[in-house]
Chains A and B, each alone.
Chain A
Amino acid sequence: MSEILVWKEKIQNLYANQSIYFDKGFQFILSFVSFFLINQNLGLMKAVATPIVTMALAVICTFLPPVFTVVAAAALILAHMFKLSLGVMAVSALIFAMMFIFYCRFTPKRAILLLITPIAFLLKIPYVIPVVCGLAMTPVTAVPIAFGTMVYYMISCVKGSSAAIKGAEGIVGQISVFVKMVLQDKSLWITVIAFVICVFVVYTIRRLSVDHAWKIASAAGAVVNIIVVVAGDMAFNLHTSYGELIAGNLFAIVVGLVLEFILFSVDYSRTEHLQYEDDDYYYYVKAVPKLSISAPEKQVKRINERRNEAQRLEEEEHRSSRKRGQGGSRRTGTAPRPRKVSVASNTDELLLAKSLKDELDIENIVRKELEE
């Protein structure tokens, strides 16, 4: 355990020192994965679905604030939708506008969640998102999670039923088919409800003062996800893959445990309960010590330190002798200050000369130094 804590400390230090590169690296990976998955799953407009465009967009977004990645991803989705139908693109644009109005206006910095949620769906790990958001963020994240889920269902609807949408009569017909497919999909609403409840439950439990609150919160979040999805499945006769549901939630618990280790590693065995009072209140305090081990710092011991010292002395001697030779005639009235030689420094120099006598020919230098 202590070894892992040391590694954690080392990684944190490394990140603290090189955060600018790590941040840009993460941003590039996120942008690239997002654009790649959008192009792979929609890929209707061939001109923008090429790897070069994906790479170029990812590189550009790396050097812009994260919210631009979200905007670029939305624009990419709209471009593919446009290829399918103008009406579908218009409806998708309206849904994106709603996301802006209801969420991005307040916290544009966290708009990245709108992107991460559909990515998690496409990577088959959607249940991780509400658990992580409940553990590390606030309940407000339920809004971008809900919208992100909607974006995923839009993508999956277009991917699976593009022929049906294209086959509909006129723009109005296409809009009608698309909107019905997305918004009348009961599994979308079941997932949204499950995720919203999960965020609230995880957030509430992890803020409790019980021991192992984070572990309980992760597990409770996973259980809530499973119960709500299974209940919805039974009520509306949906066909959810239970294997995927259970595996996804187990993975969410594992991610929750990792997150706890990173953000909230405490030693419950050394918990202290204090009780005291002042004029107005009685206080019941529970103090849980943090688990942290500082990474051992490498100390470089110079084994040739004395040698370096000897070289320095030699150089100094050379310099002073050169000065004496060159600048003797230029000296004016001021007499040179006598050099102070202490007994301690003499002893040091004698020891130095003795230890390096065999290695370097500095005996003469030291003698001259002593003579001065």
Chain B
Amino acid sequence: MLNEEKVKLMTRMAMYESKEGEEDLKISAYYRKDYTSFHTIVTVIWVTIGYVIAVGVAAVAFLDEILKNLNMPFVIMATICVITGYIVMVTLYTLVASQFYKSKHNRARQRVKRFNHDLTRLNRMYEREK
């Protein structure tokens, strides 16, 4: 005879495993601080690459104006602007990324906890059946 409770539990667990389970288990293998720091550093690297691309594209777009005003004060001003923009961008993304990955880790941990709890319940059900 089918144990309805067991079927429900197994379905829920299978659904979780097929959706977020794999990624959640990977995330929960890290400590929260390690996970957040690692991904924030990766984000900083990606943002740096993105910023370089953006500055490159902007430089191509405004090449004529740059060449027209190519003198020392302009170069210094442009450099300051680019560096300030980079610092602002990196700071913003660092803050956003650290919050984002912290909450992502929290959510993953909670889901994994629930999954482990379900697993224990299922195990108990099997033991009772024996």
Q: Hey, what's the 0/1 contact readout for A176-193 against B, CB within 8 Å counting as 1?
A: 100110111000000000
- Check if B46 sits within 8 Å of A105, measured CB to CB: yes
Known A-B contacts: A101-B49, A106-B96, A183-B61. Give 9 more (CB < 8 A): A94-B56, A95-B57, A98-B53, A98-B57, A101-B46, A102-B47, A106-B100, A180-B61, A183-B58
Quote the shortest CB–CB distance from B69 to chain A (angstroms): 16
User: Can you list 26 A-B pairs with a CB-CB distance of less than 8 A?
Assistant: A91-B57, A94-B56, A94-B57, A95-B57, A97-B53, A98-B53, A101-B46, A101-B47, A101-B49, A101-B53, A102-B47, A102-B50, A105-B43, A106-B96, A175-B60, A176-B60, A176-B63, A179-B57, A179-B61, A180-B61, A182-B61, A183-B57, A183-B58, A183-B61, A184-B61, A184-B62
> What residues of A have a CB within 8 angstroms of the CB of B49 in the complex?
101
Q: Hey, what's the 0/1 contact readout for B59-85 against A, CB within 8 Å counting as 1?
A: 011111000000000000000000000
* A94, B97: Cα distance in complex, Å: 22
Quote the shortest CB–CB distance from B87 to chain A (angstroms): 16
Q: In this assembly, does B54 line the interface, its C-beta being within 8 Å of a C-beta of chain A?
A: yes
> What residues of A have a CB within 8 angstroms of the CB of B61 in the complex?
179-180, 182-184
Which are the 7 A-B pairs with shortest beta-carbon distances?
A101-B50, A183-B61, A179-B61, A179-B60, A101-B46, A94-B53, A98-B50
Secondary structure dominating the interface of B: helix
- Check if B54 sits within 8 Å of A98, measured CB to CB: yes
Q: Name A residues whose Cβ lies closer than 8 Å to a Cβ of B.
A: 91, 94-95, 97-98, 101-102, 105-106, 175-176, 179-180, 182-184
* A94, B47: Cα distance in complex, Å: 13
* A95, B64: Cα distance in complex, Å: 21
Q: Whose C-beta in chain A lies nearest to the C-beta of B50?
A: A101
* A183, B62: Cα distance in complex, Å: 9
* A102, B52: Cα distance in complex, Å: 12
Q: Whose C-beta in chain A lies nearest to the C-beta of B97?
A: A106
* A16, B97: Cα distance in complex, Å: 34
Q: Hey, what's the 0/1 contact readout for B10-50 against A, CB within 8 Å counting as 1?
A: 00000000000000000000000000000000010011011
* A97, B53: Cα distance in complex, Å: 9
Q: Whose C-beta in chain B lies nearest to the C-beta of A182?
A: B61
Q: Whose C-beta in chain B lies nearest to the C-beta of A97?
A: B53
> What residues of A have a CB within 8 angstroms of the CB of B100 in the complex?
106
> What residues of A have a CB within 8 angstroms of the CB of B58 in the complex?
183
> What residues of A have a CB within 8 angstroms of the CB of B63 in the complex?
176
> What residues of A have a CB within 8 angstroms of the CB of B50 in the complex?
97-98, 101-102
* A175, B61: Cα distance in complex, Å: 9
Q: Whose C-beta in chain B lies nearest to the C-beta of A175?
A: B60
> What residues of B have a CB within 8 angstroms of the CB of A183 in the complex?
57-58, 61-62
Q: Whose C-beta in chain A lies nearest to the C-beta of B39?
A: A105
Which of A101, A176, A179 counts the most chain B CB atoms within 10 A? A101
Q: Whose C-beta in chain A lies nearest to the C-beta of B47?
A: A101
* A182, B50: Cα distance in complex, Å: 18
Quote the shortest CB–CB distance from B36 to chain A (angstroms): 14
Q: Whose C-beta in chain B lies nearest to the C-beta of A91?
A: B57
* A317, B50: Cα distance in complex, Å: 82
> What residues of A have a CB within 8 angstroms of the CB of B54 in the complex?
98
Q: Whose C-beta in chain B lies nearest to the C-beta of A102?
A: B50
Quote the shortest CB–CB distance from B114 to chain A (angstroms): 21
